[in-house]
Amino acid sequence: MNRLRTYPQAQRRQKNFLLAAISLFATMTTPMLSAEPRNPALAPELRVVGQGWNTDSNTVKRVLDSTTRAFWENLPHLQIGGPIIVHPRGGPITLLRRGPDGEIFIHLDTGDTYWSQYVFQMSHELCHVATLANNDSHADNWFEESVCEVASLYTLRKLSAVWHRNPPYPHWRDYAPRLAEYAHDRMLIRQIADDVTLADWVDDHRMQLQQNSPLRRDLFIAVANRLLPLFEQHPYHWASIQYLPTISDDDQTLERYFQIWYSNSSAQHRAFIRELVSLFGVTLEVY
């Protein structure tokens, strides 16, 4: 259903990949150190509702607020026009339908005290919220899915550093490394070989990517692993994702998709977008 976005549970396959990918450990970077979010008051208002959290909902809200501040500090000027209503089940998914007062509805698929999974799912869905009312029916929606996978990895690694310095509860400091470990395990699910360019890899997997199957999240992870360093080095440019195109033409080329993104964006993000799309072998018409 095109009005919904979804993706499967994150955790199940990670351990199977862990041993196979162990040799890749050396290539993984460590989370960057980070200061506390600069503009926490500007993060969207969250309302944690519904049954099934299986733990204290005030604690859940604290974790999700911390997640939202960490991601949204890079989007200080993005107004979404209403609070975000978060349910524990029925997703992970962000409904494009809004409530009567502009409410945005996020359904997670988590509960209990799986805090890393909360952070992982919430940051992915916040990324979709930040792209605003993007149409997800076009052929290259895999790109947005990959970027939102980056959002999860980015936020997990960032919060790992933030919680080390200032956890939601003092006794949670010991939990901080587990956030980075969760991201690390996720990144190991699929990697593109070092001697293969992202452009060549996407050419080889274009049809599978365009199927946008929830069963092939590994493809998005592969792309995300290549994009993560760019966003970690330049988190200011997370704001560029609000300009992703809202097109639904099946004949749309990736080059055209990127060109519209560039054209829609404000001037301060254009060099970043040029650099990012160059990884896909795309040269933009610059003006």
Q: Which residues bind Zn ion (CB under 5 A)?
A: 5, 7, 145, 148
CA distance 128 to 267: 22
Nearest residue (CB) to Zn ion, 5 versus 270:
5
Rounded to the nearest whole angstrom, what is the least distance from the CB of residue 278 to Zn ion in the complex?
Answer: 24
Nearest residue (CB) to Zn ion, 37 versus 109:
109
Nearest residue (CB) to Zn ion, 5 versus 226:
5
Rounded to the nearest whole angstrom, what is the least distance from the CB of residue 7 to Zn ion in the complex?
Answer: 5
Structure tokens at 260: 């519209």
Rounded to the nearest whole angstrom, what is the least distance from the CB of residue 94 to Zn ion in the complex?
Answer: 8
Rounded to the nearest whole angstrom, what is the least distance from the CB of residue 154 to Zn ion in the complex?
Answer: 14
The dihedrals phi and psi of 163, each to the nearest 5 degrees, come to -70, -25
Nearest residue (CB) to Zn ion, 148 versus 202:
148
CA distance 203 to 172: 44
Nearest residue (CB) to Zn ion, 75 versus 148:
148
Rounded to the nearest whole angstrom, what is the least distance from the CB of residue 192 to Zn ion in the complex?
Answer: 20
Strand, helix or coil for residue 21: coil
Structure tokens at 262: 């560039």
Strand, helix or coil for residue 118: helix
Distances (CA, A) of 226 to 66, 190, 200: 26, 11, 13
CA distance 34 to 163: 10
- Type of residue found at 59: T
Rounded to the nearest whole angstrom, what is the least distance from the CB of residue 11 to Zn ion in the complex?
Answer: 16
CA distance 210 to 220: 11
Please give the distance of CA 20 from its chain centroid, rounded to a whole number: 25
Nearest residue (CB) to Zn ion, 160 versus 212:
212
